[in-house]
A and B are shown apart, each in its own frame.
Chain A
Amino acid sequence: MSLNSNIPEGPLHEKWDRHKFKLKLVNPANKRKYTVLVVGSGLAGASASASLAELGYNVKTFCMQDSPRRAHSIAAQGGINAAKNYQNDGDSVQRLFYDTIKGGDFRAREANVYRLAQISSNIIDQCVAQGVPFAREYGGLLANRSFGGAQVSRTFYARGQTGQQLLLGAYGALSRQIAAKKVTMFTRRDMLELVLVDGKAKGIITRNLITGEIEKHVGDAVVLATGGYGNVFFLSTNAMACNVSAAMRAYKKGAFFANPCYTQIHPTCIPVHGDYQSKLTLMSESLRNDGRVWVPKNPGDKRKPNEIPDQDRFYFLEEKYPSFGNLVPRDVASRNAKEQCDAGRGVGETGYAVYLDFKEAIARDGEDVIKRKYGNLFAMYEKITADNPYKTPMMIYPASHYAMGGLWVDYNLMSNVPGLFVLGEANFSDHGANRLGASALMQGLADGYFIIPYTIGGYLAGEGSSTVSVTDSAFGEAAAQVEQTMDTLLSIKGKRTCDDIHRELGKILWDYCGMARNDEGLEKAKHLVNDLRKEFWTNVTVPGSKSELNQSLEKAGRVAEFLDFADLLLEDASSRKESCGSHLNEAYQTEENEARRDDENFTYVAAWGYAGKEKKAQLNKEPLVFENVTLSQRSYK
């Protein structure tokens, strides 16, 4: 199948304006005739819901948590990028665009990324108008910090809780539309199926998590803003309920899944402690502004960190990458930490950790200044580890964090299924093979506040309002399918819990499809996942029934989809015979162990199509065309 990305004609900087002008408009009086279903209330879903409702559309919004304010976006710590150039340090739309394309190792679409950089400034304006309490300088103007992969200071932040404050801003806007009765909010709902009528997205099936009731919702378009799939690794920095189910249901209904093998492993997380561990905690990348990463020079040096003198320390990022130092992009930082630990220089109980040291910064700026910048992160670190990072260096290790891959979308953020739009982390659009820090919040809000309000109109104006109703047979069939899956899960009554199987899946993927991959390991993992899937469907145990609140049943449904998604992840990783960004196949490295791309053969988006149960997914390629940047080997030296 050929994929039309619908990238507008014209010079890069005019594309979005031209496109907005060309898009059909829905007459203001007619907007109320359309209903849009938005699944997700994170930054992408909440901002989209509010903005669409403000325009006059009827919106129904769904989330799994008891309140839209609890979407996983709330946990974002470090900040949000924008090309404001408030610091007068040489930033511009062009530079943000270039940094993002380069950071993504030249595997993202130029036009999308340029638009993102253009919109970035409006986001900050919007959020400030909402009363988001960003950090300020003494004079009252907005403060900035630096993030990895950039040499300018363009990250806006609200202490270590930037995601929380941005989400509460969007939640406020959403709440206002709920009060105005333009948005109907459905909390504690799990989307279990996408409904197509005549090949177009016209509805969803949800389960009310309190009563167990299966509900049918009809709309003129469906917007998925359901977040990323980082939890496929079981242990990740994502919240416990983050899942790939909604995206997988869409995939199984024909939507393409793009670049699933681009999974971001974040360099600065609190290392794994024990087998019981349920999640990993991120220590924001902003810490790398002031913290220095090091390991003991001599493998097996068991001295306490403060007893190791400078000449016995290896500041591996600073030494290898003098110009970016500790602020290299995440994929580079993570891989280097792994390399040091594999070489026996790792620290901590397991030997899989490196130090992040603030001693010098505290001596230079004083404890007060450091506390002001990172106080809540230091407190969180101490709570979890019982170590005081003001006194002794933090220990960190990479962990699964973010999904660059996601459902394939065109320039309008519409998938190949007409009427199905995908926003935020759930789509694949802007980050290529590696996302730069503070860019996910920017993308989620760009999608929701400033892109979908225009592009959805273009689709709806062409469609006319729908005559479909929930009595349509497609809804009945979809609901029956959902019931049947739940019955099957409940009837297995085996001997292993969902978490137990999920944990095993995570370990397989972490070992064979994590920070470094090779063909042999990927093949092995495919077999292991296959066996594990069989084990799941014959030996899982799910207590309770489907007609009541049943958290085990919710989990079972998620693990079932993660298992299927794992196939896709492995298939994509093994078909991409190059290394790029987060995807490192050991066979393709430069002499300095950096990712070596194969631009001749792999400058494309891999968009996988569902071919049926137990059949191999089909690969569709969207060629990436670079007209404005020259592809080069990334260098952060």
Chain B
Amino acid sequence: MTKTINLTLKVWRQKNSQAKGNLETYSAKNISTDMSFLEMMDVVNETLILEGKDPITFDHDCREGICGMCGAVVNGRAHGPEKGTTLCQLHMRHFSDGDVVVVEPFRSRAFKVLKDLMVDRSGLDQIIQAGGYVSVNTGGAQDANAIPVPQKIADKAMDAAECIGCGACVASCPNASAMLFVGAKVSQLALLPQGKPEAKERVVSMISKMDELGFGNCSNERECEAECPKNISIENIARLNREFIKAGVK
């Protein structure tokens, strides 16, 4: 049932990437428990604007948990306390009246803060550019049913392909590793027959790009899997490691 709650927010404010930031306190009043977390932030921002103050900057777009644009660390957890949920799909019914909620940007040496809660995740795009695709030009593809894929394999590939590129795995990893993100893409393509011809080059190239960009190594902390809003399994990291070893054996 709909009810309203009052919260105290402590939000990271930082004017730009050079500025020093700090936590500021705001009160969020009469918040309907049917609201999403971002709708609650909208309410706070509307008040700030009317007071002539700078609203809190945060990334968001689809608000359906699919574009991967939103994300912040809420009370120490990437995308907040609900498992398998993006920040935009986190609803206020999971909070209680009087709660103090700390909201900080995804922090990682690989992600620069641009303003307030907005960070630069372009490194993830660069990793994909290093080989996260099948090299086929438009036109000339054979009939789609000429490449049968067992349903089980297709399902597994799809499990991996559900990654939304939000970067929560990187932000929650003590080493700022992007192994879950890379593992998801490598797995999807390694599982499917279409990805096989380039499998070796792909895994080597994506990993070396990841290293070059300052993402760290995986030391099996499993924080990434725990915080991933799409429940991407660390099995994908294991598969990534196997693919990497295979690629070394010439």
Residues of A in contact with B (beta carbons under 8 Å apart): 47, 50-51, 54, 65-70, 72, 74-75, 84, 86, 122, 124-131, 133-142, 158-159, 161, 164-165, 168, 171-173, 175-176, 178-179, 185, 187, 210, 239-241, 273-274, 276-279, 281-282, 349, 380, 383-384, 386, 449-450, 453, 495, 497, 499-500, 541, 543-544, 548-549, 551-552
Contact = CB atoms under 8 A, between A and B. Distances in A.
B29 to A, nearest CB: 12
Interface string B215-240: 00000000000000000000000000
Contacts of A173: 133, 136, 138
A134 B138 CA distance: 18
Contacts of B68: 67, 69-70, 74
B69 interface: yes
Contact of A69 (B60, B149, B165): B165
Interface string B180-215: 000000001100101100000000000000000000
A140 B157 CA distance: 13
A133 B39 contact: no
Contacts, number: 217
B231 to A, nearest CB: 10
Nearest to A449: B138
Interface string B21-55: 00000000000101110110011001001101111
Contact of B133 (A47, A140, A172, A277): A172
B151 A137 contact: yes
B142 A125 contact: yes
A131 B194 contact: yes
B105 interface: no
Nearest to A383: B89
A504 to B, nearest CB: 14
Interface string B133-173: 11111110111110111110010011001101100000000
A70 B61 contact: yes
A179 B61 CA distance: 26
B50 A380 contact: no
Interface residues of B, number: 74
Contacts of A165: 158, 161
B61 to A, nearest CB: 4
Given A51-B138, A125-B141, A134-B154, A549 B192 contact: no
B192 A133 contact: yes
B42 A129 contact: no
B154 A136 contact: yes
Contacts of B150: 136, 140
A124 to B, nearest CB: 5
Nearest to B121: A66
Contacts of A66: 59, 69, 120-122
B39 A277 contact: yes
Interface in B54-107: 54-55, 57, 59-69, 85, 89, 91, 93
A171 B128 CA distance: 9
A240 B41 CA distance: 14
B133 A159 contact: no
Majority secondary structure, B binding face: loop
A273 B34 contact: yes
Contacts of B63: 239-240, 278-279, 281
Interface of B: 2, 16, 32, 34-36, 38-39, 42-43, 46, 49-50, 52-55, 57, 59-69, 85, 89, 91, 93, 114-115, 118, 120-122, 124-125, 128-130, 132-139, 141-145, 147-151, 154, 157-158, 161-162, 164-165, 188-189, 192, 194-195
Contacts of B52: 541, 543
B128 A175 contact: yes
Nearest to A386: B93
A559 to B, nearest CB: 13
A136 B149 contact: yes
Contact of B85 (A84, A122, A383): A383
Contacts of B36: 278, 384
A324 to B, nearest CB: 28
Nearest to A141: B145
Nearest to B166: A70
A283 B13 CA distance: 36
Contacts of A171: 128
A605 to B, nearest CB: 29
B145 to A, nearest CB: 5
Contacts of A75: 62, 64, 66-67
Contact of A380 (B64, B144, B154): B64
Given A129-B141, A133-B154, A281-B64, A141 B148 contact: yes
A128 B144 contact: yes
Contacts of A124: 144
Given A66-B59, A67-B165, A276-B43, A47 B138 contact: yes
Nearest to A448: B138
Nearest to A282: B64
B82 to A, nearest CB: 8
B91 A129 contact: no
Contacts of A129: 134, 136, 141-142, 147, 194
Contacts of B138: 47, 50-51, 54, 126, 173, 449-450, 453
A130 B35 CA distance: 39
17 contacts: A47-B138, A51-B138, A66-B121, A68-B125, A70-B68, A75-B66, A129-B136, A129-B194, A131-B195, A136-B151, A140-B154, A176-B133, A278-B42, A497-B49, A548-B16, A549-B118, A551-B57
Nearest to A48: B138
A552 B145 contact: no
